Copies of this chain bind each other. A is one copy, B any other.
Amino acid sequence: MTTGADSTAAALPRSTALDDAAARRRVSMADVAKRAGVSAQTVSRVSNGFPGVVEETRQAVLQAMSELGYRPNSAARALKRGEFRSIGVILFTLSTTGNMRTLEGIAASASEAGYAITLIPVSAPTQIGVRSAFTRLDELAVDAVIVIMEVHLLDSSMFALPPGVHVVVVDSDAGDRYAVVDTDQADGARQAVEHLLGLGHRTVHHLAGPEGSFAAERRAKAWRETLEASGREVPEPLRGDWSGESGYRAGLELADDPSCTAVFCANDQMALGVYRALRERGRRVPEDVSIVGFDDIPDATAFDPPLTTVHQDFAEVGRRCVEQALEQVRGGASRPGSTLVPTHLVERASTAAPPR
């Protein structure tokens, strides 16, 4: 860039050079003020909609603004106000329905509250990846951070958390240390299992999510406890990695077990894989085997048969996250504690009474 010469010229009231400089440099309040024949402060007042500016002046300023194409400089604003009006979101992947939807909810609520969202991607779900994301926070213009991630990855990094940055965590059990928002996964799992037991199944098999996932753990735990509470036998759970592929592999095992009449899958995608495996083995859903999923992805209605699954209100999760974050920003204090968003079972066509 070689604007140096121009800006120097701008200091001197000259003709062409000045125009050039003004064109190159961004329009500031001072430019608008000069054009409108008022002081910069008056421009500021108009810009912020403050009272005490007579209508005539206001119009003159407004006109000068639009003529010059004035945009307030948010850096200067942030510097002056000491806040950025932006919330950072740290996450590893958008590839799961939950994360994606939660992010959407966050984005919607934040923009409604006049806050921007700054995405902080984590390159890899490792301590190093997470740590580097948090390091990047140092130079990021955010007032609060929402972490969508298994918090056990964070433990050691969290100590490096810059003070003054408020944190809300999703999908974690760190309610003792941070503000946590999540869906009531345990209750969702309970509803799923009880629904199947209510249909007459002797017990319910479980295709769990990967190890190390709190979501998977919570769902598995609630499944087990619900069975135990009813005095049912608890079959050995299978494990997938959330993918349809892994569901298919697990489904093959399940299909070979004639005692298996009901499966609670930890997410919908794995359920899709299970469908395929069962069909391949000649077992019908729901006549021979009932399936319940978790998430209620949009495609669940297009599954064949449409999937009975546990619906999670991710938009609400996002909303609460922002709510918590802003509360902290405004209150200045961190407030540990959990917020649970209710889940509910959506009954479609993949469950039925067991075969006799």
Contact = CB atoms under 8 A, between A and B. Distances in A.
Given A74-B139, A94-B104, A163 B4 contact: yes
Contacts of A76: 75, 79
A265 to B, nearest CB: 12
Interface string A108-123: 1001000011111101
A69 B163 contact: yes
Stoichiometry (number of copies)? 2
A302 B245 contact: yes
B108 A245 contact: no
A269 B299 contact: yes
B79 A73 contact: yes
A189 to B, nearest CB: 22
B162 A71 contact: yes
Contact of A93 (B3, B104, B119): B104
A84 B111 CA distance: 19
Contacts of A163: 1, 3-4, 7, 69
A348 B302 CA distance: 20
Interface stretch (A197-205, A256-264, A272-280): A272-280
A72 interface: yes
Contacts of A101: 94-95
Given A121-B104, A299-B272, A71 B138 contact: yes
Given A82-B26, A121-B108, A75 B72 contact: no
Contacts of A248: 302
A74 B118 CA distance: 13
A44 interface: no
Interface string A175-204: 000000000000000000000000000000
Interface in A306-356: 332-334
A332 B101 CA distance: 36
Top 6 A-B residue pairs of the complex, sorted by shortest distance between their CB atoms:
A244-B302, A75-B78, A276-B304, A117-B119, A107-B121, A75-B79
